[in-house]
Structure 1
Amino acid sequence: MIALLSAPTNLGLRPPQRGSVPGADKAPEALREAGLFRRLLAGGARDAGVVLAGRYLDDDDVRPVGHVRNETAMVDHARRLADRVVSILDAGDAPLVIGGDCSVLLGIGVALARRGGVGLVHIDGHTDFRHPGNSEECASVAGEDLAAAVGMHWPAIADIDGLAPYFDARRVVHIGHRDDDEEAAETRGILGRLISARDLREQTAENAASATAEIVGAGYWLQIDVDVLDPDIMPAVDSPDAGGVSASELIELLARLAPGAVGASITVFDPDLDPDGRYATLLAEIIATGLARLGAAYPSAIS
């Protein structure tokens, strides 16, 4: 059974402008309003509640070197999210975490590391592999979550409770970055496989899913950042970049990957950039269709 878990956090994002806060924490309720929860509950899912995050602080002027934005609140949220994800998995259900920004991958990673670890399919318009070894700009975990998830970041976020790495890099596949991604070359030598948005279109979703399964193995987590979609289709994200995939391409990829996953997370949709709700409606359709069979083919990995 799918267990819907809301994680309304914006802690991993940069402020849109000084003194303001990102809107990604509004995504779970915007998607509920767009009918996502109703559709999935009607299909047999259950509502597993919400894990609230702490207050967002624009702390650029006072944050010490070697720390990310909202670090203390983010680590606290990660631990509480991990507790909830573990409880869902222990009940034999497949968590569907509705974020929020992709710093939720920290808590998810902690949860899965506690249970012995699984592979990761990281679907994102960016590799999110900025880290202290390749950048002096580290501050926003939403652009650094994959690096942290495989242990290549400051220990405060990459080694919560001594569990680093949350995912074995050799069992990680990233899908969806653009051709000009700055960290792609580095990740190609670290991750199990890298598939760009262009590669996905050329290989087809069927071949990409098959190639992914060879790396991640039986049972894995699906992390989907909606900026993998082309901004002509989904502009309501923090960092839109041309060259993304279409809605139908993403739905087909998810439909092929979802049955073998232990759970999934959806991140970085910003309702503040969707005033009439049209993009929430589109995203609800993508999630409800693409992830309808989440966990169906691999229940033993969940329980």
Structure 2
Amino acid sequence: MHVDGHTDFRHPGNSDDCASVAGEDLAAAVGLHWPDVSDIDGAGPYFDPARTAHMGCRDDDAELAEVRAVVGTVLPTSEWRARGTAAVVDALQTTADAAGYWLQVDVDVLDPTVMPAVDSPDPGGSTAEELIELLRGLAPRAVGASVTVYDPDLDPDGTHAHLLADVLTAGLGDLGCALQ
């Protein structure tokens, strides 16, 4: 499960500007990057593209069409809102492995009015409440989670760190409980 405000699908096949895995991680995870990144020790692809889901990007994401052609389920924030979180969780879990999945959350999935302490803030993201509801639905079947892109240099008084801690505590509290 790749929850991110961007598809992070830049790779050598669609860009000459590859240099930051932060904008390339989904492509690398499904095997579409340099072998030194996407096939370390012959272990790639790390995730089966057909069993991988992405959600939370904006409708104008440059790689959205390519991601839709490669990855099992792709739901930009606009579709998430249109379908409702419960239906989205069902759709995402249909794509994922029944034995569990990894949950990658990039904080820039949140709208910059909610979370400006990220390096690539783009309007049209989720609210804190929407992200909590999504994570609550996904966390029970997740074998683990990673959270990225919060930038403390952009949050000098720590206000957004506290919000993020609240979102993660509320959303990930049942992490892995359905797998026990």
Normalising to structure 2: TM-score of the pair? 0.98
> For residue 284 of structure 1, what is the aligned residue in structure 2?
165
> For residue 60 of structure 2, what is the aligned residue in structure 1?
180
> For residue 137 of structure 1, what is the aligned residue in structure 2?
17
How many residues are matched?
Answer: 179
- What percent of counterpart residues are identical? 61
Choose 1 or 2 for highest CA Rg: 1
Deviation at 1:212, TM superposition (A): 0.5
Residues of 1 paired with 2:4 and 2:55: CA distance? 6
Moved over 3 A (4+): none
> For residue 121 of structure 2, what is the aligned residue in structure 1?
240
Residues of 2 paired with 1:298 and 1:265: CA distance? 18
Residues of 1 paired with 2:85 and 2:104: CA distance? 16
Matched, 1:294 2:175: yes
Residues of 2 paired with 1:244 and 1:147: CA distance? 21
Letter in 2 for 1:187: V
Deviation at 1:246, TM superposition (A): 0.4
Provide structure 2 residue ranges, at least 5 long, that are not aligned to the other structure: none
Residues of 2 paired with 1:295 and 1:247: CA distance? 21
Task: Give the secondary-structure state (helix, strand or coil) at the position aligned to 1:297.
Answer: helix
Deviation at 1:204, TM superposition (A): 1.0
Deviation at 1:217, TM superposition (A): 2.7
Letter in 1 for 2:58: R
- Of 15, 29, 42, 1:162 maps to 42
What is the RMSD computed on CA atoms of the aligned residues? Answer: 0.5
Letter in 2 for 1:150: V
> For residue 132 of structure 2, what is the aligned residue in structure 1?
251
Letter in 2 for 1:208: V
Matched, 1:270 2:151: yes
Deviation at 1:202, TM superposition (A): 1.0
Task: Give the secondary-structure state (helix, strand or coil) at the position aligned to 1:157.
Answer: helix
Deviation at 1:129, TM superposition (A): 0.2
Task: Give the secondary-structure state (helix, strand or coil) at the position aligned to 2:54.
Answer: strand
Within 5 Å, give how 1:55-204 maps onto structure 2: 121-204=1-84
Residues of 2 paired with 1:263 and 1:197: CA distance? 23
Task: Give the secondary-structure state (helix, strand or coil) at the position aligned to 1:222.
Answer: strand
Per-residue deviation, residues 80-102 of structure 1 (Å, max 9, x unmatched): xxxxxxxxxxxxxxxxxxxxxxx
Normalising to structure 1: TM-score of the pair? 0.59
- Of 91, 94, 103, 1:211 maps to 91
Residues of 2 paired with 1:279 and 1:200: CA distance? 24
Residues of 1 paired with 2:70 and 2:79: CA distance? 18
Letter in 1 for 2:103: L
